[in-house]
Structure 1
Amino acid sequence: MPRAPSTSPSTTESDRWAPIYRGSRGSATPGTASPSPGLPPWRLRAPCCFWLLLGAAHRRHDAYGRSLIVGAIVPRTGQPAIRLVGSVQRAFAVIDALAEVDTELGTNEIARRTGVNPSTVSRLLATLVAGGFVEHVQESGRYRLGPRLLQLGNVVLGRLDLRQIARPHLLALVDSTRETATLSAAGQRDAVTVDFAQSPFSVQSVAQLGRPSIAHATATGKVLLAFGGRAPPPGPLKSYTKRTIAKRSELTAELDAVRERGYAYNFGEREDDLHAIAAPVWGNHGELAAILGVQGPASRFDRQAMEAVVEPLLEHAREVSLELGWAGLVGEAVER
């Protein structure tokens, strides 16, 4: 582990930084240090940005407790100094410029948008084209984003864990509403609870992992029917309480209202003493990916309390959607 930094008053600003391994074996020139045995000369001479990009910096400590990183400069605290690579930043700017428009862009237009010299833009484009990050359209001579970005994006999205992403938002909802927050995954027929955060009150609604939501009798189920492309169950709609919507015409009107406002209510429609509100969470393709909800005892979580929950619920549903890769292409009602 790195040793504690010296607090000697003789320490100068330049002494705060560890030397870089750049010289050949046995080098004693200023700004260099004798390399550690076993490190090949080609690695010692590699530019620092190369090893920063590869994440292959190699840490050692000298006799004074200073961190020595192959290919990187580090403060004496042991934390790597932030050294951004300008050429990579400019390449990112080119990609961002192409992502901001629906059309193709030429070299000069990209240069104008990024503030990068046209000749530099041309070289960056050639490099990005070679890597598949940008495509050169032969017919127009212009450029557009390439398929490699889509491949990488799909890899990232495939590794996202819905529960891991939503968990902080469930906790935040409980903190702000003091009621139980739930996360449900959209199934073919029902939405199933996959995570929840419990209310701190002694009297609280009970959430259960794996519990399906009755499509026509719960807030979560109404969101599934309204935004998930699911049809109500065939046959007569079962009444669970006197407030359950059991007529299909009334359910159709209710689902239209849910789509219009962007969220659903449940006023004791499955259980007499349970109220709930739920909103859709969108996936990267604009599909219904999950449902975020808040529920509580009817005696405490009345209409006024539920209205106060609308704004934070929609905000957290939107944030989870964005973290899942949603681009805002659907769900206009959520924006209202």
Structure 2
Amino acid sequence: MTEHKSPQGIQSLQLGLNILDVFLEKAHPLKFSEVQEYTGMTKSNLYKYLHTLTQSGVLYRDPVQNTYSLGSRLIEYGNAALGSTDIIGRVLPYLKEISQQTSLTTLLAIWSHDGPVIAHIWNANYGINIGAQIGAKLPLLSSSGKIFAAFMKGTERQEWELKELSKLTELKRKEFIKERHEAEKNKFTYASEPLIEHISSFSVPLLDFQQNLLGSLTVVGFTPLIPKNTEDEISQYVIGQANKISASFGYRL
């Protein structure tokens, strides 16, 4: 009987993917020494990989902070994989405008096969560590996660929600159910420091002509600067921008 062997992979390609996995796992910019520590690669070998990945746009090197982070080229790959190029292109100018008007970081979250992920981020001028980066999955209790729980349809969303709820205490589950009902009514969610200390967020849904959820528009910043309800001037402004985006996909109030 002939033994079938699995084809041997390309080791150098796997090493490059391992480096990208480090950035995905750590979810914040890393210095060269940190990448070396997490990968265990020699300095000379790691430098070659980082240089190649940076040149191709898969990684980005900040010349001021001398740190590396996931690059814009990955946005193109991710958009193609998720079939979301249209919404990214349409929302991007709004992310930029909202960030410039509010001096807060804005992001777009879309649905992947097992939960919401960050599809694009527009950082505020001063720059903050929001605890996540492009491609990162967002938990149920994040403001984006609450939007998807309230407005996303289908069994995938239900399975994801049940899985996330199983990680919570009974008290947290009850609080979440109450917040989900409020989100359905107000089309607004708030999360106090869901990923990193001192950083909070609020989100609003982006809907199409059939009232299907396209994604969540999220504003992130230092906790005292983030509105907790729809009455705030910043909230009203962002809701208005989200309504414009939704209207471009045929949604009517």
TM-score of the superposed pair, with normalisation by structure 2? 0.58
SS of residue in 2 equivalent to 1:311: helix
**Alignment partner for residue 130 of structure 2, among 190, 193, 205?**
205
In structure 2, the CA distance between the partners of 1:198 and 1:260, relative to structure 1 (3 Å rule), is same
Using the alignment, how far apart are the partners of 1:262 and 1:162 within structure 2? 19
More helix by share: 2
Q: Is the 8 A contact 2:91 2:245 kept in 1?
A: yes
Identical amino acids, percent of aligned pairs: 19
2:120 matched to 1:195?
A: yes
- Cα distance, 1:171 vs structure 2: 0.7
SS of residue in 2 equivalent to 1:270: strand
In structure 2, the CA distance between the partners of 1:284 and 1:194, relative to structure 1 (3 Å rule), is same
Partner letter of residue 102 of structure 2? T
Once superposed, which parts of structure 1, at least 4 consecutive aligned residues long, lie more than 6 Å away? none
How many residues of Structure 1 are paired with residues of Structure 2 in the alignment? 166
Q: Is the 8 A contact 2:207 2:214 kept in 1?
A: yes
**Alignment partner for residue 163 of structure 2, among 226, 234, 237?**
234
Using the alignment, how far apart are the partners of 1:259 and 1:291 within structure 2? 13
**Alignment partner for residue 292 of structure 1, among 196, 213, 217?**
217
2:222 matched to 1:222?
A: no
- Cα distance, 1:269 vs structure 2: 3.1
2:180 matched to 1:255?
A: yes
**Alignment partner for residue 191 of structure 2, among 242, 266, 279?**
266
- Cα distance, 1:236 vs structure 2: 5.3
Q: Is the 8 A contact 1:170 1:197 kept in 2?
A: yes
Q: Is the 8 A contact 2:227 2:234 kept in 1?
A: no
In structure 2, the CA distance between the partners of 1:187 and 1:307, relative to structure 1 (3 Å rule), is farther
Using the alignment, how far apart are the partners of 1:205 and 1:317 within structure 2? 21
2:129 matched to 1:180?
A: no
State which drifts further: 248-257 or 265-274. 265-274
Q: Is the 8 A contact 1:238 1:246 kept in 2?
A: no
- Cα distance, 1:268 vs structure 2: 1.6
Q: Is the 8 A contact 1:186 1:291 kept in 2?
A: no
Q: Is the 8 A contact 1:205 1:297 kept in 2?
A: no
2:247 matched to 1:318?
A: no
Partner letter of residue 228 of structure 1? M
Give per-residue Cα distances to partners, 1:175-204, cap 9 Å, x unaligned.
111100001112343211111110112445
More strand by share: 2
Give per-residue Cα distances to partners, 1:287-333, cap 9 Å, x unaligned.
1011111001225436499933211211111111122233x2xxxxx
1:49 maps to which residue? Answer: none
Q: Is the 8 A contact 1:182 1:292 kept in 2?
A: yes
SS of residue in 2 equivalent to 1:223: helix
Q: Structure 1: 5+ residue runs without aligned partners?
A: 1-157, 329-334
Partner letter of residue 233 of structure 1? L
Q: Is the 8 A contact 1:179 1:204 kept in 2?
A: no
SS of residue in 2 equivalent to 1:182: strand
1:110 maps to which residue? Answer: none
Write the mapping of 1:13-162 to structure 2, written as runs, cut at 5 A: 161-162=86-87
SS of residue in 1 equivalent to 2:211: coil
Q: Is the 8 A contact 1:275 1:302 kept in 2?
A: no
SS of residue in 2 equivalent to 1:208: coil
SS of residue in 1 equivalent to 2:121: strand
Partner letter of residue 203 of structure 2? A
Using the alignment, how far apart are the partners of 1:245 and 1:221 within structure 2? 18
Q: Please report the RMSD computed on the Cα atoms of aligned residues, expressed in angstroms.
A: 2.9
TM-score of the superposed pair, with normalisation by structure 1? 0.44
Partner letter of residue 238 of structure 1? K
SS of residue in 2 equivalent to 1:247: helix
Write the mapping of 1:322-333 to structure 2, written as runs, cut at 5 A: 322-326=247-251, 328=252
